[in-house]
A and B are shown apart, each in its own frame.
Chain A
Amino acid sequence: MPYLASSSTKKTQSGNSEPNLLPMMNLMVVLIPVLLSAAEFIKIGMLEIDLPTSGGGGGSSSEETPQEVEQKLGLKLFVTKNGFTLANDFVVIKDSASDGGPTIPLKNGEYDFESLHTQLADISEKYGSKFKDGKSIKIAADSSIAFQTLVTTMDNARSTKVNGKTIVMFPQVNFGRL
């Protein structure tokens, strides 16, 4: 012990002393694997749904003038086994190729999300700012449609990118039944 004490004193005096880092290193070596094992590398997000409050729908009908009623876009998107159909209360957008079928039919047996995105971006650009409900869309799907298809549909309806700039299209989503 006297040897160690004198040695450390000598070292301090000469300025070459280094703190004993071994215990600290031991702690780090234990802490890092523990934190790594507990870390979640998958980032979890969420999609918000707008639901009408129970009993609230149509409550203000007496105050609404006929003009305000007319100013609703009322965009609806139907997801069926044959593809996507876009419509509102008055018009159903038809596919130019096949009459009477869905607006965007399946492409090689899969949903054509790209065309849907283009169509929705077009509608949003033309009518999004003109109507009170220009940012909302009602989605109704076939009972057997998988949740992943629905989420991808919502993703394609939510926003678009023009020249690297994100433009909000239809972030407010309502669900309905076919």
Chain B
Amino acid sequence: MAAKTASASLERGATKRRNFSKNKSEPGLPPLTSMMDAMTIILLFLLKSFSTEGSIVSASKDLQLAISDTDIKAERSMSLSISRNAILIDDKPVVLMSEVHSSDQLMIDKLYTFLEKQAELQKKVEQSTGRPFKGEVTIQVDKDVNYDSLLKVLFTSAQAEYSRQRLLVIRNE
């Protein structure tokens, strides 16, 4: 008898729970279709902007790029950065700026040695994979770096067979 009562009460409980969930999900459900439409549009827009602009070239965080009116989009190539403190290749510091400032000659020896090795490496890659070595380098320059330092880096990289140089800037639109 006691077992019967217990099972009956359990059944009542289950029915109540079912009723409760039914009441909550059906009439209280917000209209999700319109929300889904909006979300789909946002998602597609974001994905499209990724595929066209992409994060192909990302600026280093320790330097502020100059602002320009150029309409040429950035392309990926070997990255060389001239920050206020050092010259970096692929985010690894190669020469300190204090050394660059103290030297009178246009050639920066440490940078030249590093770039020459890089060029040799890329030529080996060219031989094995067939991907041509174009001597392209993308130079990120801090907006406050002086002309003298820039000229030294441009000269040195041109001497080390990197003569197709691009200066990275923020596009002012």
Most chain A beta-carbon neighbours within 10 Å: one of B55, B66, B141 = B66
User: Shortest beta-carbon distance, B72 to chain A, in Å?
Assistant: 5
A-contacting residues, B158-173, CB 8 Å: 158-159, 161, 163-171, 173
Q: Does A93 contact B (CB under 8 A)?
A: no
Chain A residue numbers with a CB within 8 Å of B144 are: 146-148
Are A21 and B32 in contact, CB atoms less than 8 angstroms apart? yes
- Is B57 an interface residue, CB under 8 A from the partner? yes
Query: Which residues from B are CB-within-8-Å of A5?
Result: none
In chain A between 74 and 95, which residues have their CB closer than 8 angstroms to a CB of chain B? 79
**Listed stretches B2-10, B112-120, B147-155; interface member:** B147-155
Count of B residues near A, CB < 8 Å? 55
Whether B58 sits at the interface, judged by CB under 8 Å, is yes
Pairwise interchain contact B73-A45, C-beta atoms closer than 8 A: yes
Contact with B46, one of A22, A36, A154 (Cβ below 8 angstroms):
A36
The reply on B143 being an interface residue by CB < 8 A is: yes
B39 at the interface (CB under 8 A from A): yes
- Distance in angstroms from B94 CB to nearest chain A CB is 19
Closest Cβ neighbor of B47 among chain A residues: A35
Assess A49 versus B166: contact at CB under 8 Å? Given A24-B36, A32-B42, A147-B141: yes
Q: Could you tell me the distance between the alpha carbons of A28 and B35 in the complex, rounded to whole angstroms? A: 10
Contact in complex: A43, B70 (CB < 8 Å)? no
Q: Which residues of A contact B146 (CB under 8 A)?
A: 143-147
With A45-B74, A46-B138 already in contact, the answer to whether A147 and B154 are too (CB < 8 A) is no
By a CB distance below 8 angstroms, the chain A residues around B143 are 146-148, 151
B65: chain A residues within 8 A (beta carbon):
44
- B contact patch SS: mixed
Give the interface size class of chain A.
35 or more
The residue on B at minimum CB distance from A7 is B22
Contact B66 A28 (CB under 8 A): no
A44 B168 Cβ-Cβ under 8 A: yes
A-B contact pairs, 6 of them (CB 8 A): A25-B32, A25-B39, A28-B40, A45-B73, A47-B68, A49-B166
B residues neighboring A (CB under 8 Å): 18, 32-33, 35-36, 39-40, 42-43, 46-47, 49-50, 53, 55, 57-59, 65-75, 106, 138, 141-148, 150-151, 154, 158-159, 161, 163-171, 173
Chain A residues in the interface with B (C-beta under 8 A): 3, 18, 21-22, 24-25, 28-29, 31-32, 35-36, 38-40, 42-49, 51, 53-54, 79, 141-148, 150-152, 154-155, 158, 175, 177
Beyond the given A25-B36, A147-B147, could you list 18 further A-B residue pairs with CB under 8 A, ordered by the A residue number? Answer: A21-B36, A28-B36, A43-B173, A44-B74, A46-B73, A47-B72, A47-B166, A47-B169, A48-B164, A48-B165, A49-B166, A144-B147, A146-B144, A148-B144, A151-B67, A152-B68, A175-B150, A175-B154
